[in-house]
Amino acid sequence: MTASGIGGSSTVCPDEPDTAPVAAGSPGQGTRVVAEARWPEAGDDGPAPGVPGFVSSQFAPVVVAAAERCLGRGYGIAGVPAGLRTAIVLVSASGDRTSAEHVRATVEAGGRIGPLFFFQSVPNSVAGHLAARWGLRGPVVCLSPTGDPYAEGTAEADLLRYDGDADEVLLILIEQAPDASTEAVAVLLGGEGRP
């Protein structure tokens, strides 16, 4: 499985599960890909730039790098049009594995954790960082995939748009494997009317 429909292979692809995800499939009728981006892309050497308030892990930097590249391609320098509600759907099986493993090891050793790890302990936090910088006023939804992450993310995006809480959706797929670099895909989904 790859992040189908957006080209190329990716590590954002957990093993196939025992059960099917809700409404798996491509973006629904009426939904179109407005923009897409990855981290890394050609020319991206070295780690993603740091994000203020986030430490130790490449999870937040890679999410922000892919997402801001996608938002820039979708909305340009003018930013999000007034009145548009853009949701964030972040799909990740691993979550911020680096931070979680640091916390677990520190706790098991009887130590104290730095307070910044509290603020980055859930994927909502980096989504909130993006929402604040770009004025994304739609829902924030984080999923751990039970099947194809892209299909699950687009199904959730379709539901939020159909249901009326979002006009457009920034879908982010990110995985941190223990022995591979952190990678992310971001897709801005929109379209006329309800999907």
Partner 1 sequence: MAEPRVTQLTGVHAVSALGRGAEAQIAGVLAGVPAFGAVRRFDTAARRVTVAATLPEVGTLADELAAAIEAACRAAGLAGAQRDQCGLLLAVHGGPAPGAGPTPGALAGQLAAACGLSGHTRVYTSACVSASTAVADAAALIARGDVDRVVVAAGYLVEPDQFALFDAGRALAVDGAVRPFSAHRRGLLLGDGVAAVVLESGDGRRGVEPLATVVGWGRAGDAFHPCQPDPTGTGLARAVDAALRRAALPPQAVGYVNANATGTPQSDAAEAAALRRALGAHAARVPVSSTKSVHGHALEASGLLELVVTALALRHGELPVNAGWLAPDEACPLDVITDHPRPATTTHALTLNSAFGGANTALLVGAP
Q: Which residue's CB is nearer to partner 1, number 145 or number 190? A: 145
Smallest separation, CB 43 to partner 1 (Å):
28
Q: Please state, in angstroms and rounded to a whole number, the distance separating the CA atoms of residues 121 and 55.
A: 11
Residue 132 touching partner 1 (CB under 8 A): yes
Applying the rule CB under 8 A, the residues between 26 and 65 that interact with partner 1 are: 53
Residue 22 touching partner 1 (CB under 8 A): yes
DSSP-derived 3-state class of residue 96: coil
Only one residue has tokens 């009317």, namely 193
Contact 24, 85 (CB under 8 A): no
Smallest separation, CB 45 to partner 1 (Å):
27
**Residue 60's Cα: distance from chain center in Å?**
10
List 34, 58, 74, 85, residue binding partner 1 (CB under 8 A): 85
Q: Which residue's CB is nearer to partner 1, number 7 or number 185? A: 185
**Measured torsion, CA atoms of residues 139, 143, 146, 152, in degrees rounded to the nearest 10:** 40
Site pattern 102..131 for partner 1 (x: CB under 8 A): -xx-xx--xxxxxx-xxx-xxxxxxxxx-x
Q: Please state, in angstroms and rounded to a whole number, the distance separating the CA atoms of residues 88 and 167.
A: 11
Q: Please state, in angstroms and rounded to a whole number, the distance separating the CA atoms of residues 26 and 33.
A: 11
DSSP-derived 3-state class of residue 66: helix
Q: Which residue's CB is nearer to partner 1, number 18 or number 45? A: 18
Contact range with partner 1 by CB under 8 A, out of 34-42, 69-77, 163-171, 185-193: 163-171
Q: What residues are paired with 38 via a beta bridge?
A: 185
Smallest separation, CB 5 to partner 1 (Å):
19
Only one residue has tokens 């080209």, namely 7
Contact 88, 127 (CB under 8 A): yes
Smallest separation, CB 190 to partner 1 (Å):
16
Residues in the site for partner 1, rule: CB under 8 A? Answer: 14, 17-24, 53, 85, 87-88, 92-97, 100-101, 103-104, 106-107, 110-115, 117-119, 121-129, 131-132, 134-147, 152, 156, 159-160, 162-165
